[in-house]
Structure 1
Amino acid sequence: MANYTAADVKKLRELTGAGMMDCKKALDEAEGNVDKAVEILRVKGQKGVAKRESRTAENGAVVSLIADDKKSGVLVELKCETDFVAKGEKFLAVADAIAAHVAATSPADIEALLASEIESGKTVRTYVDEANATLGEKIVLDRFAQFSGGYVAAYMHRTSPDLPPQVGVLVELEQENAEVAKDVAQHIAAFAPKFLSREDVPEETVANERRVAEATAREEGKPEQALPKIVEGRVNGFFKENCLLDQPFAKDNKKSVQKVLGEAGVTLKRFARFRVGA
């Protein structure tokens, strides 16, 4: 008969984030000793890292870190396999540690971040692999954002009250305005613009939209003389849907985001929006 209780299984799950069956097997092997079971899971986890590479990590969390002077900020997405791990303290501690490391070191890109040293003799890549082993799931770090120079703010959105934020937005304004920063960040979270302005849309994307708009209009049997106006209208519709400054503002759809910013006397320099797994 097993020499451990359901409480021991629960404790081991909370300590490691491992699945129930894995915890039971580890406790069986450790003859009920929770500390030894933790070690067993870590060892087995390290061996199983490669096996987990083929799994899908679509859960996780977005975390942010804003400097006290509001002149810089970081946004990090860390993914895992299950919401059970995503809401665990150990997983969130890893995400927060990585965000603090980004804030302190300002890596150029994700590869530079993964190769950088987060602890003595330990790279971020190794740090994530250890979390992978300890938590018993595939843990993925593949994007972050860092802004500095202007007024930086973040908005974090929970899609479920029992989960950490699944959507995070980082904005940088040229002028300090906490209210506008919050309102615009919330708008970005809700409407997911792909670009800041029309000027940021690649030329090939615009050209493709024009081709599609013209082909669609011809398919619909629109008059030849009306095509230029129809195409222009549909391309403008694309800008209005995908460019933040062109979008109708969430709190007042009679105004564009550009107009709201202009009335407040502020300029939005850039933004980043992460949604876990998207």
Structure 2
Amino acid sequence: MAYTAADIKALRESTGAGMLDCKKALEESDGDLAAAQEFLRVKGLKGVTKREGRTASNGLVVAHVDGGVGTLVEVNCETDFVAKSDRFVELAQKVLDQAVAVGATDAASLLASDLDGQTVQQVLDEANANLGEKIEVRRVARVEGETVVSYLHRTSPDLPPQIGAVVAASGERASEVGRDVAMHAAAMSPTVLSRDEVSEEVVANERRLAEETAREEGRPEQAMPKIIEGRVNGYFKENVLLEQAFAKESKKTVGGYAKEAGVEITGFARFRVGAGA
């Protein structure tokens, strides 16, 4: 039984597999679409273990906010071709819905949860087989507060959002200010809300590096304490959300902007696809 270009297109749309794989499947199944789908599934499942070592550096970030709870999930794949496919986007939404339903706070608990008689990990393994790429949930965050807002950013117009932030805030203007802060966080990549969240080990290491750098530069001994303190404060200004220069008004810190508006920022999470934070 022969197959046509329309058959290849239909198989690609139904499975998300690549063109060459679809041609091979149709050849092996003598043009039978159902058999070709089964061939691709079997072939894909056989390749799941082989793909475990691959790097899934593409994908998307999805977010859900319901009242005072925000959920952020990063779902990864290998190529931008799959990242923008309808099947992958639908899968990511399904995973997000499950994260919201079970109140997941991390990837491990989400992957182990039951979704229609399968674990989420098993659902991902099937997607791995069908799409022919490594598919994984890298990170999950749950943020709670009086008011929670989200912001998703597309780094390219033809790709789904690859940066996402959720921010919890309290106060009369929490929604407006929280949205501004979420957009800021997406752009400026803070790692913690306040300096209290920076571990003593990190601060000690920053002090050590600041001192070593100052000595390499030949700075005078009497100036060392001030120089070290200034560079450690510089670290805080770069990484602490509330101490960063606000993107919209750089003369103000994020914390200062929120305080002027009568708003307190109480929590946040930010993901960028493929990044560590």
TM-score, normalised to structure 1, is: 0.94
The match for 1:190 is 187
Counterparts of 1:51-62 in structure 2, within 5 Å, are 51-62=50-61
Q: Is this contact kept in 1: 2:104–2:140, CA < 8 A?
A: no
Structure 1: runs of 5 or more not aligned = none
- Segments of 5+ residues of structure 2 without an aligned counterpart are none
Asked whether the equivalents of residues 55 and 138 of structure 1 are also in contact (C-alpha less than 8 Å), the reply is: yes
Looking at structure 2, the residues matched to 206 and 188 of structure 1 have their Cα atoms a distance apart, in angstroms, of 22
TM superposition shift of 1:243: 0.7
Say whether 1:17 aligns with 2:16: yes
- Match status 1:209 vs 2:203: no
In 2, the alpha carbon distance for the partners of 1:55 and 1:19 equals 17
2:93 to 73, 91, 96: 96
Q: Per-residue deviation at 1:108?
A: 4.6
| Structure 2 residue 33 is matched with structure 1 residue 34 | yes
Partner of 2:170: 174
Identity %: 58
Partner Cα distance (1:231, 1:36) in 2: 68
Q: Select 1:263's aligned residue among 243, 260, 268.
A: 260
Aligned partner (choices 143, 149, 155) of residue 151 of structure 2: 155
Structure 1 residues 44-83: aligned runs within 5 Å: 44-67=43-66, 70-83=67-80
Residue 227 of structure 1 aligns to a residue whose secondary structure is helix
Say yes or no: does 1:118 pair with 2:112: no
Q: Secondary structure of 1:255's partner?
A: coil
Among candidates 236, 239, 245, match of residue 248 of structure 1: 245
2:142 aligns with 146
Structure 2 CA distance for partners of 1:108 and 1:146, relative to 1, 3 Å: closer
Query: Higher mean Cα deviation, 2-11 or 58-67?
Result: 2-11
Cα distance in 1 for partners of 2:144, 2:207 equals 36
Contact 1:73–1:153 under 8 Å retained in 2: yes
Q: Secondary structure at the match of 2:171?
A: coil
* C-alpha deviation, 1:7, in angstroms: 3.1
2:17 counterpart SS class = coil
Contact 1:147 1:172 (C-alpha < 8 Å) held by counterparts: yes
| Structure 1 counterpart of 2:167, one-letter code | V
Tell me if structure 2 keeps the 8 A contact 1:16–1:136: no
1:88 and 1:13 map into 2 onto residues whose CA distance is: 11
Contact 2:167 2:268 in 1 (8 A): yes
Q: How many residues align?
A: 274
**Whole-Å Cα distance in 1 between the matches of residues 77 and 13 of structure 2?**
16
For the residue of structure 2 that corresponds to 1:22, the secondary structure is helix
Question: Once the two structures are superposed, what CA deviation does each residue of 1:216-275 show, in whole Å capped at 9, x if it has no partner?
Answer: 111111111011111111111111111111111000101110100101111111111111
Q: Which amino acid aligns with 1:218?
A: R
RMSD: 1.4
2: CA distance, partners of 1:82 / 1:149: 35
Instruction: Detail structure 1 runs of 4+ shifted over 6 Å in the superposition.
Output: none
* TM-score after normalising by structure 2: 0.95
Alpha-carbon distance in 2 for matches of 1:35, 1:63: 32
Q: SS of 1:249's equivalent?
A: coil
